[in-house]
Amino acid sequence: MLSNIRIMVYKFRVILDAEDDVLRDIAIKDTDTLEDLHNTIINAFGFDGMEGGSFFLCDDNWEQQDEIMLFDMGDVPGEHKTMSDFKLNDLLYEDQTKILYIYDPFVNWTFFVELAAIESEDDSEEKELPALLFAHGVLPEDAPVKNFDDPISKDDIYGDFDDDYDDEDFDMFDGDEGFNEFDYDDNNY
């Protein structure tokens, strides 16, 4: 007996994290894998596909959660699940629509990927899937540089951590001559 499984079409908007608007709208079957989505994205943006990539599940504020890589980089083969292990409909649905995609981790092409629509395959105009639906903007020659040096205060880093030391506790090191007071000579050991 054949089951009556209904294939759905997922329509994604993929936006490059850059100052200029560079985006692609793509359609893909919900039963395709994250690896299929990876390949669709790199084709839509014109990459050669010679580099790896990762998806990050995200919350509604684009905060990264679990990473899913193209290749298993664990010490033990099969230790980590890869993109080919996950169907899109296992991870993305009406209440979970956002993922982050990084292509080429050495230069970090970063894309915001959002599930914009879910249609039944019967209702969809796209018969050949995956498909590029819309393209806007030109991919820059180089990946946009990320500024990871945002000014952060000590309070942001350490929060409520209190080690019971203050600057006066470290005054004993001012003017320290190292081991010279012990007649230690670096060249004679």
Residue 24 or 171, more confident: 24
pLDDT, one tens digit per residue, over 68-88 is: 999 877 667 767 889 999 999
Q: Is the pLDDT of residue 21 over 80?
A: yes
Q: Is the pLDDT of residue 37 over 80?
A: yes
In a domain, 45, yes or no: yes
In a domain, 165, yes or no: no
Strands 98-103 and 23-29: unpaired
The confidence band for 113, taking pLDDT boundaries of 50, 70 and 90, is: very high
In a domain, 184, yes or no: no
pLDDT, one tens digit per residue, over 145-178 is: 876 555 545 555 455 555 566 666 656 556 555 5
Q: Is the pLDDT of residue 125 over 70?
A: yes
The whole-number pLDDT of residue 1 equals 46
The whole-number pLDDT of residue 71 equals 87
In a domain, 16, yes or no: yes
What pTM did the predictor assign?
Answer: 0.73
Q: Is the pLDDT of residue 45 over 90?
A: yes
The confidence band for 123, taking pLDDT boundaries of 50, 70 and 90, is: confident
> How many domains are contained in the chain?
1
Of the segments 95-99, 120-124, 184-188, which one has the largest average pLDDT value? 95-99
Assign 127 to helix, strand or coil. coil
How many residues does the structure list for the chain?
A: 189
The whole-number pLDDT of residue 92 equals 92
CATH number, domain at 52?
3.10.290.30
In a domain, 155, yes or no: no
- Residues with Cβ within 8 Å of residue 40, at least 6 apart in sequence: 26, 28, 130
Place of tokens 């998806």: 55
The pair of structure tokens assigned to 43 is 């084709």
In a domain, 55, yes or no: yes
In a domain, 29, yes or no: yes
- Residue range(s) defining the domain that contains residue 98: 8-136
- 52: how many CB neighbours lie within 10 A of its CB? 16
Q: Is the pLDDT of residue 116 over 60?
A: yes
The whole-number pLDDT of residue 9 equals 95
In a domain, 96, yes or no: yes
